[in-house]
Amino acid sequence: MRKLTSAGLAALIAFGATSQTVAAKDLVIGFSADAATLDPANHRDTNTETIIREMYDGILTRDPAMHVVPQLAESYKQISPTVYEFKIRKGVKFHDGSTMTAEDVKFTLDRIWEKGGLGDGQTSPRQSLLGPIKSVDVVNGDTLRVTLSAPWSLLPAMLPFQEVVSKAFVGKVGTAGMATQEDGTGPFQLVQWNKGDSVVMKRFDDYWGGKACVDRVIFKTIPESSSRVAALLAGDAQIIDHLPPYAVSQVNASGNAKAVFVNGTRSYFIAMNLTEKPFTDIRVREAIAHAIDKPLVINKILGGHAVAINGILSPDAFGKNKALKGLAYDPALSRKLLKEAGYPNGIKVTMDVTGPDKDTAEAVASLMAKGGITTKVQVGESAMLGSKWRTMGKPKTGDMYFTSWGNGSLDPQGIFMPTHHTDGRGNSSGYSNPKVDKLLDGAAVEVDRAKRAAMYEQAEAIAAKDVAYIYLWVPQDIYGVSKRLSGWQPSPDGRLNLVKACLK
Amino acid sequence: MSLTKLVERLVQLVPVLLGVSVIVFLMMAMTPGDPVQIMIGDQNVSAAQEAQLRHDLGLDRPAYERLALFIGHAATGNFGESFYYKRPVAQVIAERLPATIELSVVALLIALMTAIPLGVLAAVKKNSVLDKLATVGSLLGVSLPGFWFGILLLMLFAVQLHILPVSGRMGFATSIKPITGFLLIDTLLRGDPAAFLDALKHILLPAITLGLPMTAVLMRVTRTSMLEVLRQDYITFAEAKGLSRTRILIRHALKNALIPTVSVAAIETGSLLGGNMIVETVFGWPGLGRLVVDSIFVRDYPLVQAAVLLYAVTYVLLNFVADILYTFLNPRVKL
Amino acid sequence: MSDAAVTRPTPSQSLLLRNLAVFAENRLAAGSAILVLIFVALALFAPLIAPQDPNATDLFRRLQPPAWQAGGDWAHVLGCDALGRDILSRIIYGSRVSMLVGATVVFIATSIGILAGLAAGYLGGWVDTIISRTVDILLGFPYLIFAIGLMAMMGAGLGNIILALVYKEWVIPCRVVRAETLATREQEYVEAARALGASNRHIMLREILPNILSPVIVVSTIRMANVIILEASLSFLGLGVQPPTASWGAMVADGRAFIMQAWWVSTFPGLAILLLVLALNVASQGLRDAFDPRFHE
C-alpha cells in the first residue's frame, strides 16, 4: 500500500512536469458561457451572439466608437421614412467557397422577420429585434430594399444584431443542422464545438476584410470567475471576460496580464412600486435617492469601475442629457423628507434582487438604513423576479427592485422606451407620464437626429425630476488580457472582434 | 433469481418512472417564472410577439394537455426540443452525458481502488494505528462538504502549486474529435498520449472530490465485512491447515468479504449521480448535473423533465443491479 | 389492558444507564457529543457570544484579513467578508440555521417516517402499496435535484428549505420503520395484544413503536449530519435562507469568488460545517455502538 501511494505521488508530480504546449498562434478566450446554439436566427442570448459573430458578419456593424457602419453592405441609405436601401458588397465568400449575394441577405432577413420563417413552422425568437418589416426585396442584383409598414428609425441600429447566412447552406442542412454547423462569411470558421467546454475556430483565409492574424480562436467556457482569472494568470487564456473588479489589482500586478476597461451599456437602477404607498409620495422617492452614497458603493464594491448616472441613459448613449443633476448623498435630508411625508420614524421596505447583484444591493440597503429607510434585501431568481416586476402595466406586488437593463445598441429607444413608457415591458416602477410617453413615441419615428436627441434629453429630465427610478450607475466591462496580445480593444457592445488581434 | 422474478421486478419499475414523470412535470409547472420572459430578456417586445413565442414553445396549451403530451412522447423516446438550446433535448443530453459518466466512473474506480485495500488492511490489523487512521479518514470523508473540499483542492493543486488545471475537461489547446465521447478513451484511440495525460489531469480533482464520501463508506463496509469473514470457521480451519496468511486473505476471505462492498458500491453510484451537480459547478465540468441546475434556473422545462427522468431510470436500475449482484454473488440470498 | 399477561421487552432503566456508560467510555464519541453541545450553545446564545453584529456592514473593512495577518485587527478575529461583516460573528449566528434546519428536518421527517412506516408495515394491503410506491418514486429522484426543484418552486427562505428537505427525508426513517415493523408484527406480545382486542392504533403506537424506536433514533442522528450538509449545499447554490441571515453554505459560496484574493472568507465557514458534521457523525456512531448491539463488530 505504501508503495502504491508513493507511486501515485510520483505520477502526480510527473503530470506537473509535462506541461501542455499551446501553439503560439492559438488565441484562447476564457469566456463565462458557452454558446446555446450556432444558429444566428434561433437564440436570444448575448454570449451566443458574441461567439457566433466571429464566424458570421452582419449587414451592418458598429465601429469602435459605436457608430453604425456598413459591413456586408457596402453602403446604405434611407429612401423614405419607411424604405431603406442596402448595396450589398461583391465578392464576399462563405466558408464553403460559394459567393454571397443579395439573395442570401434577403433570405437571412426573411428567415427572421417572417412568421414561420425559421422552417418547421417555427418563428425566429429574434423576430422582435427587427421591427415592423413589410417586405425585403432584391432590386437589380446587388441592391436590397427593406420596406417597413411604419416608420422605425431604429432599423440601422438593430441590424448589427443579425448575421447573414447562406441560403444554399440552410437549404442543405436545415434549421436542425444550423444549430451545430456554420457557413458564415466571418474571419473564422468552425473546427469543432465541444458542447459545454469549448468552441474551436480556425482562420478563414479568404475573408473579404483581409485575413485574421491568429491561426485559431478557442472560446473556452469557464463559468467561475476565479477560474477565469487563474487561467489568465497561468497564461492558458489570453482574453477573459467579466474580470471581477476586486481581481483587477492582482491581474495588473502579475506582470503577464493586465485589466482593460470599456464603458458598458447596462444601466443599474432601483425600481419602486409607484402604485403603492409610500412610493406614491415623491418625497419618499427623493429621500431614498438622497440616502444612497453612489461614489462609496462604486469605489468599494465596484472597484471604482462604474460611472454614476442621474437618468436612465448611459453617458455614451445618443441623446443623453449631460446637464442632468442628481440628488446628492445627504442622509439627514432623507430623514427630513420622510418626516415631511408623514414618516417620522422612517419606513420599512423590502428590496428584490437577483443573486449576482446581492452584494451590491446589500451595500445599498445598509446605506439606505442610515437614511431612515430600513431595507430588507430579498434574493430571488431572475425567472421569478422578471414575472413579478415586468408586468407591463398589470398591478405589482413588492416594494423595490434592484435591477438593470442592458442596451447593446446604445440607442435610447432600446432602454428608454421599455423602462419609462407607460406599460413598457421593463417598466418595473410602473411609471407613467403622458409627457414622457409623447416624447418617446415622437422620438421613435423622428428622422432628424438633432430633434430626436433633444426629445430624449427632455424626457430624461422629466423622468429624473419625477424620480421614476433611483438611477445608480453604468458599470464598466472589464476584460483581462495577456501582455502577449496586441491589436485588440474591448468594445462597449460586448463584441470581441478578434480579426485584428495578434499574439506575440 | 428466476427469470419471471426478474421480469416482475422490471415491470414494477414502470409505475415508479411514471410517478417521477408526473411529479417533475407538476413541479416545473407550479414553479413561478416564465420561460418566455427569460427569452425576451431586456428587449421591448410587443404582446403579440410574446404570444407568438409562447405558442412556439407550446406553452399556450393547458397544463394537463402538456402533461399528456410529455408522457406520451417520452414513452416513444421523444423528449421535445430544449427551450434554451433550440435543439432536441435528447441530443443536448447526449452531448453532456459522456462527461458525467466518465467523471462518475473514474470517481467510482478511485473509490474502489482506495477503499478495498484500506478496508482490508484496517480489518487485518484491527486496532492498529493504521486502522485508527483509516477510521478517522473515513469519518472525515463522509463529513467533508464536497463544495468546500473541492475549492480547497483547487486552491492547493491548481492555484498554489500549479500542477493541475483549474477548470474544464481538457486543456485549452487540446481538441480531440470525439469517438465515444469519453475523453480518456478517445485520446488513446486517437493515439495521443499527451492529450490523454491532459484529460487525466483535468478529471483527477473532480473525481477525487466526488469519490471521497463513497470511498469512506466503502471502506467501512469492506472493513466490517472482512472482520466478519475473518471470524468464520473456514478461515480458522484454513489457518489450522497451515495455509499462508496472504493466501487465506486473498483466496478465501476477500472473495466473500467483497459481496456487500460491491452491492453497496452499486447503490452508492446512484448517490454519486446526485452529488454531480455540486462538483460539476465547482470544477466547471461540462456534464449533465450542471446542465440540469442551469436549466432549472432558465425554466427549460423539456430539458429538466427529460434529465430528471434519466436520473430516475439510472437510479432505479442501479438499485436493481445491486439486488441482482447481491443475489448472484451470494447464493444464500433468495429474492 | 393487562400488560402483565405477556412479558413485553421494555427497555429497562438499567439498560439505558449501561448503554450511556458504554457511550461515555468511548472518549472520542463523548468528546464529539460535547462539541455538538458547544455548537448548540453557540446557536442558542449567539447574541451573547458573537463579538459583533453579524449583519453590520462596513465597506471600509471589505475583505479585511484575519487578525494575525497584516491589515487585520483583533476586533475581527477571522477577518471580514465582501461587505465588511465580521466573519466570526456570522459563523456563530450561522450555526443557528444549520442547527435549526438539521434538527427540525430530522424531527419532522422522523415523525412522518414513523407514522407512515408503522402504517405500511403493520396494516399492509393497499396502505402499504401506496406508501411503498410513494417511497419508491421519491427514491428515484436524486436528493439534491429534488430539493433544488422544490426551492425553485417555493422560493428561498428558512421555512422552505425545511419543507424541501422534509419532502424527501421522511422516506429514510419510513423504510427503516417499515422493515422493523414487519419483523416485529408477528412477535408474541403483538399477537397477544391483538388477541386481547387492542386497537390497531394502540398496537402500533404502544406495543410496536417503543421497541423499534432505538434503531430509528440512531438512523435519525446519522441523518442529521447529512441534512446539515444538504442545507449547506442548497445555500451554496444560492437557494438557501434570505440575506442578510448568515448561513455557512452561503458564506462559502460568497467567498468562492474571492478565493484568490481573500482565502479566509470561505475557508472558515467551511471549517465550521466540517467540525459540526464530523462531531455529529462521530457522536452518532458512538450512540449506535452503545445502543444497538447489532452493529457491534
Owning domain of residue A234: 6-32+192-260+477-503
Our count of domains for chain A comes to 3
Q: Are C256 and A366 inside 8 Å of each other by CB?
A: no
> Hey, is the C-beta of C260 within 8 angstroms of any chain A C-beta?
yes
Nearest-by-Cβ selection for B274 from C142, C155, C263: C142
The DSSP string of B155-212 is IIIIIIS--S-SSSSS-SS-----SSS-HHHHHHHTT-HHHHHHHHHHHHHHHHHHHH
* Cα–Cα distance, B130 to A282 (Å, whole number): 73
- Report CA B85 to chain centroid distance, whole Å: 24
A21 and A120 belong to one structural domain: no
Has residue B72 got a pLDDT over 60? yes
Task: Please name the chains neighbouring C, where neighbouring means 3+ C-beta pairs under 8 angstroms.
Answer: A, B
Q: Are A246 and C258 inside 8 Å of each other by CB?
A: yes
> Hey, is the C-beta of A247 within 8 angstroms of any chain C C-beta?
yes
Nearest-by-Cβ selection for C145 from B32, B228, B308: B308
A205 and A72 belong to one structural domain: no
pLDDT for res B329: 66
Residue A44 lies in a domain: no
pLDDT for res A16: 38
Q: What percent of chain A has pLDDT over 90?
A: 71
pLDDT for res A386: 85
Residue A180 lies in a domain: no
B-contacting residues in A 402-461 (Cβ below 8 Å): 405-407, 413-415, 417-418, 424-426
Nearest CA in chain B to C153: B31
Q: Are B197 and A15 inside 8 Å of each other by CB?
A: yes
Q: How distant is the Cα of A302 from the closest Cα of chain C, in angstroms?
A: 11
Cβ–Cβ < 8 Å for A442, A242: no
Nearest-by-Cβ selection for C257 from A244, A301, A380: A244
Cell numbers linked to A309 = 448616472
- Can you tell me the mean pLDDT for B246-274? 78
Single-letter amino acid, residue A354:
T
Cβ–Cβ < 8 Å for A452, A319: yes
Q: How distant is the Cα of C8 from the closest Cα of chain B, in angstroms?
A: 31
Residue A402 lies in a domain: yes
Contacts of C152 in chain A (CB under 8 A): 381, 383
> Hey, is the C-beta of A218 within 8 angstroms of any chain B C-beta?
yes
Q: Are A355 and C238 inside 8 Å of each other by CB?
A: yes
**Which residue in B232, B8, B231 sits closest to B126, CA to CA?**
B231
* Cα–Cα distance, B278 to B274 (Å, whole number): 9
Give the confidence band of A11 by pLDDT, cuts at 50, 70, 90.
Answer: very low
A254 and A112 belong to one structural domain: no
Residue A185 lies in a domain: no
* Cα–Cα distance, C9 to C210 (Å, whole number): 9
pLDDT for res B1: 54
| A374: phi then psi, degrees, rounded to nearest 5 | -75, 115
Contacts of A27 in chain B (CB under 8 A): none
A317 and A204 belong to one structural domain: no
* Cα–Cα distance, A65 to C143 (Å, whole number): 51
A137 and A65 belong to one structural domain: yes
Residue A183 lies in a domain: no
**Which residue in C169, C163, C209 sits closest to C185, CA to CA?**
C209
Q: Number of CB pairs < 8 Å for A and B?
A: 179
* Cα–Cα distance, A56 to A94 (Å, whole number): 9
Q: Domain with A110 in it: what CATH number?
A: 3.90.76.10
Has residue C2 got a pLDDT over 70? no
Provide the CATH number for the domain formed by C19-47+56-295 in this structure: 1.10.3720.10
Domain ranges of chain C: 19-47+56-295
A302 and A384 belong to one structural domain: yes
* Cα–Cα distance, A114 to C191 (Å, whole number): 77
Q: How distant is the Cα of A166 from the closest Cα of chain C, in angstroms?
A: 41
Sheet containing A143-148: give its strands across: A73-80, A83-88, A143-148, A133-139
Has residue A19 got a pLDDT over 50? no
pLDDT for res A470: 96
Contacts of B142 in chain C (CB under 8 A): 225, 281
Cβ–Cβ < 8 Å for C32, C282: yes
A86 and A129 belong to one structural domain: yes
A428 and A290 belong to one structural domain: yes
* Per-residue pLDDT tens digits for A404-450: 998 887 889 889 999 999 998 889 999 999 999 999 999 988 888 89
Task: Please name the chains neighbouring B, where neighbouring means 3+ C-beta pairs under 8 angstroms.
Answer: A, C
A158 and A227 belong to one structural domain: no
Higher pLDDT, C22 or A87: A87
A327 and A393 belong to one structural domain: yes
Nearest CA in chain B to C256: B151
Give the confidence band of B149 by pLDDT, cuts at 50, 70, 90.
Answer: very high
Has residue B12 got a pLDDT over 90? no
Q: What percent of chain B has pLDDT over 90?
A: 20
Has residue A351 got a pLDDT over 50? yes
Q: How distant is the Cα of B100 from the closest Cα of chain C, in angstroms?
A: 14
Helix extents (H) in chain B: 3-30, 35-40, 47-56, 63-75, 89-124, 129-143, 146-153, 183-189, 193-230, 233-240, 245-247, 255-283, 288-297, 301-329
Q: Are C59 and A250 inside 8 Å of each other by CB?
A: no
Q: Among A26, A51, A133, A197, which would you mutate to test the B interface (most chain B Cβ atoms within 10 Å of its Cβ)?
A: A197
Give the confidence band of A9 by pLDDT, cuts at 50, 70, 90.
Answer: very low
Cβ atoms < 10 Å from Cβ of C110: 26
* Per-residue pLDDT tens digits for A197-243: 899 999 999 999 999 999 999 999 988 888 899 889 888 899 999 99
pLDDT for res B172: 67
A471 and A449 belong to one structural domain: yes
> Hey, is the C-beta of B202 within 8 angstroms of any chain A C-beta?
no
pLDDT for res C12: 55
Q: Are A425 and B43 inside 8 Å of each other by CB?
A: yes
Contacts of A229 in chain C (CB under 8 A): 260
A234 and A292 belong to one structural domain: no
Which helix (H) or strand (E) covers residue C297, if one does?
A: none
**Burial of A391 per CB tally in 10 Å (0-12, 13-18, 19+):** middle
Mark which of A108, A143, A173 sits at the end of a domain. A173
**Which residue in A111, A81, A49, A428 sits closest to A275, CA to CA?**
A428
Q: Which residue segments constitute the domains of chain B, with CATH numbers given?
A: 3-75 (no CATH), 95-148+203-329 (1.10.3720.10)
Mark which of A173, A206, A225 sits at the end of a domain. A173
Q: Are C140 and B31 inside 8 Å of each other by CB?
A: no
- Can you tell me the mean pLDDT for C144-159? 88
Nearest-by-Cβ selection for B167 from A227, A390, A424: A227
* Per-residue pLDDT tens digits for A110-119: 999 998 888 8
* Per-residue pLDDT tens digits for A57-76: 999 999 888 889 999 999 99
> Hey, is the C-beta of A391 within 8 angstroms of any chain C C-beta?
no
Q: What is the pTM of this model?
A: 0.86
Nearest CA in chain B to A232: B166
Nearest-by-Cβ selection for B227 from C273, C285, C297: C297
Q: What percent of chain A has pLDDT over 70?
A: 95
pLDDT for res A47: 92
Is C6 strand, coil or helix? Answer: coil
pLDDT for res B173: 63
* Per-residue pLDDT tens digits for C112-126: 999 999 999 999 899
Higher pLDDT, B165 or A186: A186
Q: Are C257 and A225 inside 8 Å of each other by CB?
A: yes
